Amino acid sequence: MVTGASRGLGQQFGRALAKAGADLIVTSRKRDDLAPFCREIETLGRDAAPIQLDVREKASIDRFADEAVAAFGKVDILVNNAGCNARKPALDVTWDDWNLVLDTNLRGTFFVAQAIGRHMIEHEYGRIVNIGSVTSVMGYAGLAPYCASRGGVKQLTMSLADDWGRHGVTVNCLAPGWFRTEQNKMLYENERWVEYLKDRIPLKRPGLPGDLEGAVVFLASDASAYVTGQTLLVDGGISTGATKATLDEV
């Protein structure tokens, strides 16, 4: 199951899991927006069931969990990916901006995990992959609510791992670095910014489609059976800090 799979990284995660042999439940606030992606998954020889979900609405989460279990009988993997951002200087952040980002990224992640975790616990098996970010471990100007939400997802992951480990459910956080998607494409249209970004990344490029595949399959599979509560950064190394400590290249 991948939430927020109408575009962007959610589709990258879904594609990777389907290629590794999973049938998928995919979600969006608009069910119809999932049709092209479901067709793509079917061409890979896997089933894909589209379900409407708004992670800001508790009733929607409850309905979605019931429908999801009915669709396949059992959910083994949850990739908790649905998310949003409000990119502005801290002094301009409004009450509503804060609520939008925290309600979606942190409260939504928790209550989707709770609804599906309840079902996984009944079956004594589950792999939950909460999507965090390099901002789970670093602060960035202009991203205060987002960084707070992603730091929260990292801590939430550790707490759920401790709660549910005894039931055979692992909970980890996959934290991508910088990947071009709808959410941030305005940044990538500025060449100076792209050069600045590349310079900060030890592997000297932003993330590409495919860069997250190995990590999501690892955390969703039995290869990670003894890994729980962890945050795996897939970020080209930008979370190292990447500040120059010599003068020769400045």
Ligand X SMILES: NC(=O)c1ccc[n+]([C@@H]2O[C@H](COP(=O)([O-])OP(=O)(O)OC[C@H]3O[C@@H](n4cnc5c(N)ncnc54)[C@H](OP(=O)(O)O)[C@@H]3O)[C@@H](O)[C@H]2O)c1
Residue ranges binding ligand X (CB under 6 A) = 4-10, 28-30, 33, 53-56, 81-85, 104, 131, 133, 176, 178-179, 181-184
Instruction: Indicate the residue among 29 and 167 with the shorter CB distance to ligand X.
Output: 29
CB neighbours of residue 140 within 10 Å: 12
Shortest distance, CB of residue 3 to ligand X, whole angstroms?
Answer: 6
Shortest distance, CB of residue 153 to ligand X, whole angstroms?
Answer: 9
- Residue 226 a catalytic site member: no
Dihedral sign, Cα of residue 15, residue 16, residue 21, residue 26: negative
Per the CB < 8 A criterion, the answer to whether 51 and 71 are in contact is yes
Instruction: Indicate the residue among 85 and 231 with the shorter CB distance to ligand X.
Output: 85
Shortest distance, CB of residue 214 to ligand X, whole angstroms?
Answer: 16
Instruction: Indicate the residue among 81 and 172 with the shorter CB distance to ligand X.
Output: 81
Quote the tokens at residue 150.
């992603």
Catalytic residue among 146, 188, 196, 226: 146
For the sheet with 126-131, list strands across it.
Answer: 77-80, 126-131, 169-176, 231-234
Q: What distance in Å separates the CA atoms of residue 159 and residue 167, rounded to the nearest whole number?
A: 14
Residues designated catalytic:
146
